């Protein structure tokens, strides 16, 4: 059905998409009368549009709400189950794959443990195992996926290549998009893991709806990601939030201040920080001083970003954010002397799935883009195929 310029069919397509969008954003069943109010169309037109959407499979009828006065109205809901997307977190210690529906709700996940010394090909193999496990648990095939986004440590450029990595020796230069493309036919995106975590917090977590925020990954290697004007800020070459590379911030070495504490004696580097935070919480002066020193350095880099961007919120994520009750007040105190206005600081709420969930969010953005702004054409629900 070829449609030209400002055709009447175009108007119908617009109205159809507007109705579908209204149902999608309502996140609850709507009656025709409610849709009339939301779209501004007449009841007759909405009836036509809804019939077409139902016939194509985008929406489904649910049973009428009981206990209402008058003839009960039919209710329709957006079918979040017609498509699924995949979010993948390729971390140092684990690979996590999450399958979500079109509302971003987790359907199933698969997890494979790896470690710092896992070789590149083994890690890539673990990615497939996690994906397969998630797909099996979701009862889906790879060809059912409408989109996939993988998060990796390191700088990820526009072409999806991992260009700089510190944690994993042989990971630089890996072509994740190419690897995933061997078995996935849907559109694939690769992004930095902290950026995906920030996106997840802004969509599903503690920063829901905040337009400008700085996400701080606090851990042995701190990092940062930015949401600006409601969108993930990727930067020209993908290297945003790297203020920690400046020597004056001390970000590269600041975790050491925690590890030399007596409270951490004998513990593994992973354990050390938690022990020090616990000791500080219990009142150990040495541990408290170490936390303050850590917060002082963290505040230097954070202040640079806050003064540059004046965000509404700072979100604390990463391993150390589990001790936010100790770290957050220390960071707040340390930021005070640097900032004109200290933004709100809140700890992450999503936990260790946040990177994979952020990947799903990014893939869903792509699905929405395709659905709502691609020439306004309304098609049958189907998994899009990668073109390249």
Partner DNA sequence: CCCTTTATTACAGGCTCCATAGATATTCAC
Partner DNA sequence: GTGAATATCTATGGAGCCTGTAATAAAGGG
Residues in contact with a copy of itself by CB under 8 A are 4-6, 8, 10-11, 14-15, 18, 39-42, 45, 155, 164, 212, 224, 226, 228-229, 231, 233, 235-243, 245-246, 248, 300, 303-305, 307-312, 338, 340-341, 343
DSSP for 313-353, written as a single string? EEEEESGGGGGHHHHHHHHHHHHTTT-SSPPEEEE--SGGG
Beta partners for 8? none
Q: Which of 43, 158, 231, 262 binds DNA (CB under 7 A)?
A: 43
Contact (Cβ atoms closer than 8 angstroms) between residue 90 and residue 123: yes
Question: At its nearest, how many Å lie between DNA and the CB of residue 75?
Answer: 8
293 sits near DNA (criterion: CB under 7 A): no
Q: Is the dihedral of CA 356, 357, 362, 367 positive or negative?
A: positive
Under rule CB under 7 A, which residues in 13-32 are in contact with DNA? 15, 31-32
Name the binder of 137 from DNA, a copy of itself, none, CB < 5-8 A by kind. none
Q: Which of 38, 47, 163, 181 binds DNA (CB under 7 A)?
A: 47
Q: Does 71 bind DNA (CB under 7 A)?
A: yes
Which residue, 193 or 259, is less far from a copy of itself as judged by CB? 193
- Rounding to the nearest 10 degrees, give the CA dihedral for residues 85, 91, 95, 99: -20
Q: Which is nearer to DNA, 54 or 106 (CB)?
A: 54
| Cβ-count burial 133-159 (b if 16+ within 10 Å, e if not) | bbbeebebebebbbbbbbbbbbbbbee
Q: Which does 70 bind (CB under 5 to 8 A by kind): a copy of itself, DNA, none?
A: DNA
* Among the listed residues 144, 105, 148, the one whose alpha carbon sits nearest the alpha carbon of residue 130: 148
Rounded to the nearest whole angstrom, what is the least distance from the CB of residue 20 to DNA in the complex?
Answer: 13
Q: Least Å distance between CB 362 and a copy of itself?
A: 16
CB under 7 A: which stretch of 34-42, 94-102, 114-122, 229-237 binds DNA? 34-42
- Residues, the chain: 388
Q: Per rule CB under 7 A, is residue 40 in the interface with DNA?
A: yes
143 contributes a contact to DNA by CB under 7 A: no
Structure tokens at 163: 């260009």
With helix as H, strand as E and coil as C, how does 230-294 read? CEECCCCCCCCCCHHHCHHHCCCCCCHHHHCCHHHCCCCHHHHHHHHHHHHHHCCHHHHHHHHHH
**Nearest approach, Cβ of residue 26 and DNA (Å):** 15
CB-count exposure of residue 45 (10 Å: 0-12, 13-18, 19+): middle
Task: Give the binding-site size for DNA (rule: CB under 7 A).
Answer: 31
Residues making contact with DNA (CB under 7 A): 4-9, 11-12, 15, 31-33, 40-45, 47-49, 64, 66-74
């Amino acid at each position: 059905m070829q449609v030209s310029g400002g055709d009447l069919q175009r108007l119908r397509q617009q109205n159809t998409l507007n109705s579908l969008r209204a149902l999608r954003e309502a996140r609850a069943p709507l009656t025709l009368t409610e849709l009339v109010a939301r779209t501004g169309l007449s009841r007759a037109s909405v009836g036509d549009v809804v019939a077409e959407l139902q016939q194509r499979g985008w929406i489904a009828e649910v049973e009428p709400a009981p206990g209402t006065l008058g003839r009960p109205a039919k209710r329709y809901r957006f079918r979040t189950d017609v498509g699924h997307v995949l979010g993948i977190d390729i971390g140092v210690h684990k690979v996590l794959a999450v399958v979500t529906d079109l509302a971003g709700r987790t359907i199933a996940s698969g997890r494979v443990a790896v470690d710092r010394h896992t070789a590149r090909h083994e890690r890539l193999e673990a990615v497939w195992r996690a994906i397969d496990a998630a797909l099996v648990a979701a009862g889906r095939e790879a060809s059912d996926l409408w989109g996939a986004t993988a998060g990796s440590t390191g700088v990820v450029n526009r072409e999806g290549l991992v260009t700089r990595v510190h944690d994993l020796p042989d990971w630089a230069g890996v072509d994740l998009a190419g690897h995933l493309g061997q078995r996935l036919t849907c559109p694939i995106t690769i992004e930095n893991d902290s950026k995906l975590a920030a996106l997840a917090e802004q969509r599903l977590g503690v920063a829901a709806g905040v337009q400008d925020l700085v996400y701080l990954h606090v851990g042995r290697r701190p990092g940062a990601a930015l949401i600006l004007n409601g969108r993930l800020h990727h930067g020209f070459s993908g290297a945003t939030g790297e203020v920690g590379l400046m020597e004056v911030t001390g970000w590269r070495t600041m975790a050491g201040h925690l590890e030399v504490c007596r409270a951490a004696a004998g513990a593994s580097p992973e354990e050390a920080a938690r022990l020090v935070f616990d000791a500080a919480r219990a009142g150990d002066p040495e541990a408290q001083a170490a936390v303050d020193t850590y917060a002082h350095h963290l505040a230097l880099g954070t202040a640079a970003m806050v003064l540059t961007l004046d965000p509404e919120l700072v979100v604390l994520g990463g391993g150390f954010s589990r001790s936010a009750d100790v770290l957050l007040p220390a960071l707040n105190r340390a930021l005070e002397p640097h900032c004109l206005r200290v933004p709100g600081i809140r700890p992450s709420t999503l936990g260790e799935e946040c990177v994979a969930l952020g990947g799903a969010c990014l893939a869903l953005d792509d699905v929405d883009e395709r659905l709502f702004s691609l020439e306004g054409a309304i098609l049958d629900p189907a998994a899009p195929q990668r073109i390249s």
